[in-house]
Amino acid sequence: MSLLLAISRIIDAINTRIGKWCAWLILAAIVVSALNAIVRKVFDTSSNAWLELQWVLFGVVFLMCAPWTLIANEHIRIDIVNSQLSKRVRDWIDIIGHVFFLLPFTIVMIVTSAPFAERSWLINEQSSSAGGLPQWPAKFLILIGFILLFFQAISELIKRIAIMRGDIDDPHAGGAGQAEAEVERLLETIDPNVSRP
């Protein structure tokens, strides 16, 4: 189990790092959106490339930060019902959900998006809008995002089983503060010399 937990820590650290970097693209999307609106109103001109860039930036944030959201236990669930259940039942729900829903879904998305992205790249697919951006980078984002989410689902499954066996403490049992401390600890396993904000 210690080897699996080490693999889980590596996956967590990588996805946390990617998530933290990609989250900054929200700011980039806001800046692009604001500048596009200003140019359109002031100069009465615009470009489809700017609009599509906003969509791509949002797609990057959504797809690349999804594994980080799963690590932080911030994904959507019905908390009113979930909080009424015992911890043991919630742990089993997580395991069943990961094995029978999340992992199969990520596999289906990887298998179907790989040829979709490859075909787009081979033909150098461009936007159907005049002056738009190439489409293949956005399509590869789908593949990359679901590969990262697949590995994060494996990591979450390893951790949940270890928690149920009593091998590790539940990082989310103490609330968001303890979870954030765990994420910081994971980042330090990758690069202990980097100062945190």
pLDDT-derived band at 165 (thresholds 50, 70, 90) equals: confident
Provide the pLDDT for residue 46: 77
Query: How deeply is 149 buried, as exposed, middle or buried, from its count of CB atoms within 10 A (0-12, 13-18, 19+)?
Result: buried
Provide the pLDDT for residue 147: 97
pLDDT-derived band at 193 (thresholds 50, 70, 90) equals: low
Per-residue pLDDT at 44 exceeds 70 = yes
The pTM for the full model equals 0.80
Q: Which helix (H) or strand (E) holds 126?
A: none
pLDDT-derived band at 90 (thresholds 50, 70, 90) equals: confident
Provide the pLDDT for residue 9: 93
Per-residue pLDDT at 177 exceeds 50 = no
Per-residue pLDDT at 56 exceeds 50 = yes
Q: Compute how many other C-beta atoms are within 10 angstroms of the C-beta atom of residue 88.
A: 9
Provide the pLDDT for residue 6: 93
By three-state DSSP, how is residue 46 classified? coil
pLDDT-derived band at 80 (thresholds 50, 70, 90) equals: low
pLDDT digits (tens, 9 = 90+) for 132-163: 888 999 999 999 999 999 999 999 999 999 98
Separation between Cα atoms, residue 9 and residue 29, nearest integer Å: 31
Per-residue pLDDT at 197 exceeds 60 = no
**By C-alpha distance, which of 53, 62, 44 is closest to 135?**
53
Per-residue pLDDT at 74 exceeds 60 = yes
